[in-house]
Amino acid sequence: MSLYQFLASDSPLKDVQNPNIEIISLNEMAKRNLVVPEILLNNKNTDPNEKIVLICESEELLHEIEIRKDNPKGYAHPYTSKKYVSEITFRYTDIRAEQLIKYISENLLISDELEIWSIWLDDLKEGIIETKSQNDLTLEDLKKVLGPGYYEMPRCLKIKK
């Protein structure tokens, strides 16, 4: 089983990309004087112009917030009836949680409610659902749902205007 965290809303959710991640080709690696792994050099099927190598300045920067559209009829379906679902991935820190609060506030300009879920895939247990107003939302609320070491069962935080 894997942990799956997602946002759900009745309004479209904006994608967020990690600005520190870049995907480049083997030729681009060579131009930048980066070490190309032997396994890639020796593979005859590898196109040297195809962008297949992920680079990032540090492991910590690799874990910035990323939000991308997902299929609402997929893993989220048993938990939410919202029309729009986006997977959220990141390593929890208070700074990133503050960024997420800003993202939530922007979404609530066009929607009355946003759900944040944390579930185990293929473990269809009933979840704990907590509701907060946007003005009462705290970092601790987000940490309970998205932070490390908090998962006991499916958990949802509904945030209302």
Identify the residue whose tokens are 């609530």. 108
Quote the pTM value: 0.84
Phi, psi of 55 (to 5 degrees): -125, 150
Q: According to the model, what pLDDT value does residue 125 have?
A: 80
CA proximity to 119, closest of 70, 74, 69, 156: 156
Give CA–CA dist 112/124, Å, rounded: 27
Question: Alpha-carbon Rg of the chain, whole angstroms?
Answer: 19
pLDDT above 70: percentage of residues in the chain: 98
Q: At what angle do helices 139-146 and 94-107 cross, to 10 degrees?
A: 100
Residues 69, 15 contacting (CB under 8 angstroms): yes
CA proximity to 150, closest of 161, 136, 139: 139
Give CA–CA dist 104/115, Å, rounded: 10
Q: Which residues contact 29 (CB under 8 A, 6 or more apart)?
A: 35, 36, 53
Q: According to the model, what pLDDT value does residue 85 have?
A: 96
Q: According to the model, what pLDDT value does residue 1 have?
A: 65
Task: Name the most confidently modeled range: 33-42, 130-139, 146-155.
Answer: 130-139
Mean residue pLDDT across the chain: 91
pLDDT at 94 over 80: yes
Phi, psi of 135 (to 5 degrees): -70, -20
